[in-house]
Chains A and B, each alone.
Chain A
Amino acid sequence: MKNKTGKSAVDSIDSLQTAMRRKNYIADRGLVTSIYLAIKLGRPLFLEGEAGVGKTEVAKVLKEVLDTDLIRLQCYEGLDISQAVYEWNYSRQMLHIRVQEARGEKVAEAELFGPEFLLRRPLLQAITYDGDKPPVLLIDEIDRSDEEFEAYLLELLSDYQITIPEIETIRAERPPVVIITSNRTREVHDALKRRCLYSWIDYPSFERELEIVQVKTPLASAELSRQVTTFVQEIRRADLFKIPGVAETLDWAAALVALDQQTLSKTVIEDTLGVILKYQDDVEKVMGKTIDAILDRMGIHE
């Protein structure tokens, strides 16, 4: 490999998995393999999954593991080049014209549209990054942007280059590690996916989620961690419109710790259900019978 990304962390799938675990990210083998290959092959990684399963977290952890910078672009509808890539610094350009005028000189157009008047937005920053290791570029929630922006990304993702008409085509010397996430609120165009490695992140198994809770909420008692995980795993099977993600499990565990709870009980669950369920319909649906049934299965009685 031409880039020296952290001497040992990405030597093998195993070492990457260990390194990520050291940074408190418990990933399954499939995900680690895709991250590893994305780095090795120099391809963007497209991560899809429901909200709160830790897609964005992957980029943050990679930043730590690779010991480099994270450049983040949050997508939204109407995101355009001036916000994502570059913008000309108009006030500086105007000032420059005035200054030159005062000196009695004329301003050439090429001078006005030079690199010093360029405001670098995240994508350009990632391409022209000059640290010693390639940065991690996170393009977050691409499904929120629109087709126009997706189309723009194609050039960037296949050749790691950006064309600024007034200047030239800028090519990355060291391609960034690109992580793209999507909640799948709409289908992203195939042309874009085709340039990426793909990984779907599922809700974790009980063992994995328990481990995540223990690692991320060390203050929670062993009993509480186990109960919280079991409960969330169970409630995911209920007929819910919005299934709670790992983020919700962690929030809940943290909330219960803050409330000084050692174990779960029916009252506590009902009082704090809003932490894991975000739709009133869902809350109503599980209140009462569903909760009782789950508690019964967990062997918790009032």
Chain B
Amino acid sequence: MNEHPGKLLHNLLLFGRLLRGLGIDVDTGRMIDVVQSLRFVQISERTDFYYTLRCLLIRRREDYLLFDSAFKLFWRKPHEKPQSTMRTAGRLRRPRPIIIPPPLRLPDPGLTPPGPNGSNLHPHEPPIILATLTYSDREQLRHKNFADLTEAELEAIQRMLAEFFWQLGQRRTRRFQPGRGRRIDFRRTLRENLHFGGEVLQWSQKEPRLKPRRLVILADISGSMERYTRLLLHFAYSLTSGFSQNSETFVFSTRLTRITRSLKEKNVEHALHQISKSVPDWSGGTRIGEALKAFNFEWGRRVLGHGAVVLLISDGWDRGDPAVLREEISRLQRSCYRLIWLNPLLGSPDYEPLTRGMQTALPYIDDFLPVHNLASLEDLAGHLNKINENPPVRRQLLRGTPLRIYDG
């Protein structure tokens, strides 16, 4: 603060605004801290000034790079135009991906597509199509393969999915609550017996608190899965909106994309619209192994703690290296409570998991289930609900064990 304290203050605020514009969450209180810190730091020392701003304004390592560019552009010697610099920095944050529209089926001509602000959407509109279905229609629909649905049926199923109630099995936490457990709650015991003059007449107990397990969905959206993609995204939406705090969703074909945030949208069409923009590789080839590797290295340790259940949705058509797939799926299995593979092809009676990908992965899967019609989803719901009752049996597999043909 040697020359123009007023100007410096002004610039600091501008810099804060620049960061905010770049998507970094800088709150006003923090700017006060920055001003305070100038009493302690020689801001003529550029490095110290840099680190001061960084430790005060940034809260995630991911933003370090962005901060670096913003700092260099903003606090430079004054001759260039500041505006152009801000734009350059902005590009860093939002690299415009080549947007390939997803293979979403177009709705019936009568229905208007969702507008960007939701003006055309009627979330509370009564489910007209559903209402016209008779019981036997519904039954038929329950067993119809997702791949053969007509547009109207698709709509109907999506509505039925929205009404689904998902509940994932619970796990014991290490936190206690008053109850009928074996542990004695001394605090309550003492308090409740005070009026007996400190004579303990009633014991209070406590029991472990239960929490739903965390759910992680990894969905294959490659070309071979195209017919199922839209419905499966609806499925993921319905599944995760139930326990939003506790689920993570990723999609992959050649690359892995996290879509957890998009799925938190209130409106399912908005969510799918966002996802279609954020995923760079719709209907590409499949490299399951590489996608799992990306997941294991980047996210595994962060989202698989505390007995998570993983749903891997894929048809097992894999064009990647089987060795990588084996290594990564085995790692994935070891780091979660339950690894469930959902395969839409498993629904047809004559399907055998002979593809190389499926063959490689099978020994490492705890449950191999179909996901091809509504009935199978209902079964899945039942299975998830009872997930604690039949814990998986996992055998130690020898490395390099010859591939085993799946025999039922």
Contact = CB atoms under 8 A, between A and B. Distances in A.
A8 to B, nearest CB: 15
B306 A77 contact: yes
B175 A80 contact: yes
B25 interface: yes
A36 B61 contact: no
Contact of A185 (B27, B40, B305, B327): B305
Contacts of B64: 200
Contact of B173 (A41, A78, A109): A78
B37 A40 contact: yes
A194 B25 CA distance: 10
Contacts of A41: 33, 36-37, 40
B288 to A, nearest CB: 18
A83 to B, nearest CB: 11
Contact of B175 (A90, A106, A146, A199): A146
Contacts of A107: 198
Interface string B151-189: 000000000000000000000011110000000001101
A194 B59 contact: yes
Given A30-B54, A194-B27, A37 B197 contact: no
A45 B272 CA distance: 39
B256 to A, nearest CB: 16
Given A101-B197, A190-B25, A37 B190 contact: no
A201 B68 CA distance: 16
Given A78-B173, A101-B197, A185-B301, A193 B59 contact: yes
A77 B331 CA distance: 23
B302 interface: yes
Contacts of A43: 33
Interface stretch (A52-60, A91-99, A218-226): A91-99
Contact of A33 (B51, B194, B296, B327): B51
A33 B52 contact: yes
A106 B197 CA distance: 8
A190 B26 CA distance: 12
Contacts of B59: 46, 190, 193-194, 196, 198
Interface of A: 12-13, 29-30, 33-34, 36-38, 40-41, 43, 45-46, 48, 76-78, 80, 82, 88, 90, 93-94, 97-98, 101, 106-107, 109, 112, 146, 148, 184-187, 190, 193-194, 196-200, 241, 281
25 contacts: A13-B48, A30-B51, A30-B54, A30-B55, A34-B55, A37-B40, A40-B37, A41-B33, A41-B36, A41-B37, A48-B61, A77-B174, A78-B174, A80-B175, A80-B176, A90-B189, A93-B190, A94-B198, A101-B198, A146-B173, A185-B301, A194-B30, A198-B59, A241-B297, A281-B331
